Amino acid sequence: MKTLMHICCAPCSIVPTESLRRQGMEVMGFFYRHNIHPYSECVKRQQTLEQYSRKIDLRVIYQEDYDMEGFVRNVAYRESNRCSYCYHDRLRTTALMARRGKFDYFSTTLLYSKFQKHDTIRSIDESVGKALGVPFFYQDFRTGWKTGITASKELGMYRQKYCGCIYSEKERFYRPKTDRAKITDRPKI
């Protein structure tokens, strides 16, 4: 069975890739770039994945363009709900590629992260899969959360400190003077 797996970053890909391979699946990765800002950060994450995928013999398709402007335009004035747009665009793009490449399933490493909105991702995945006629492979990869962290540290991987978009970078590092203690519920990685 061939699965196209959307990969958000190398550290998050360790557990899902190993798990799917253990289940006998042939896995190919897809790295989506529009939501990773700024560009130098996107390149850093991509290079980390390139190194890791060579090491484990994983073929990965890298999105060629970098439409940061389109991403920002699409979430403008609804920044507080931007993750739904972001998940949907990443997963729809993956499903379309899976359909074109005649994959049996599509999936995502977003299902590994404890910081992401797991149930929202699952529901978007399922509806995108139904609409496009590509089966979505669901698994709760969060059970391997600690294993993945340990493995990525042992491999000396670059581990980013924020989710991806420029808004998440601000939320991770900026604290207004009047509200230093405020903690947002946005995903960190």
Q: Does 82 interact with ligand SF4 (rule: CB under 6 A)?
A: yes
Q: Which is nearer to ligand SF4, 25 or 86 (CB)?
A: 86
Interface stretch with ligand SF4, choices 9-17, 94-102, 163-171, 172-180 (CB under 6 A):
163-171
Q: Does 13 interact with ligand SF4 (rule: CB under 6 A)?
A: no
Interface stretch with ligand SF4, choices 14-22, 125-133, 137-145, 165-173 (CB under 6 A):
165-173
Binding-site member from 15, 27, 83, 124 for ligand SF4 (CB under 6 A):
83
Size of the site for ligand SF4 (CB under 6 A): 11
- Write out the binding residues for ligand SF4, residues 17-76 only, by CB under 6 A: 35
In whole angstroms, give the CA distance from residue 127 to residue 150: 33
Q: Does 14 interact with ligand SF4 (rule: CB under 6 A)?
A: no
**Complete DSSP assignment for the chain:** -EEEEEES-HHHHHHHHHHHHHTT-EEEEEE--TTS-SHHHHHHHHHHHHHHHHHHT-EEEE-----HHHHHHHHTT-GGGHHHHHHHHHHHHHHHHHHHTT-SEEEEGGGG-TTS-HHHHHHHHHHHHHHHT--B----GGGGHHHHHHHHHHTT----SS-SSHHHHHHHH---GGGTT----S---
Bin 77: left if φ > 0, else alpha if -120 < ψ < 50, else beta: left
Binding-site member from 168, 174, 180, 181 for ligand SF4 (CB under 6 A):
168
Binding-site member from 6, 34, 92, 186 for ligand SF4 (CB under 6 A):
186
Q: Does 164 interact with ligand SF4 (rule: CB under 6 A)?
A: yes
Q: Does 6 interact with ligand SF4 (rule: CB under 6 A)?
A: no
- Residues forming contacts to ligand SF4 in the complex (CB under 6 A) are 35, 82-83, 86, 163-165, 167-168, 186-187
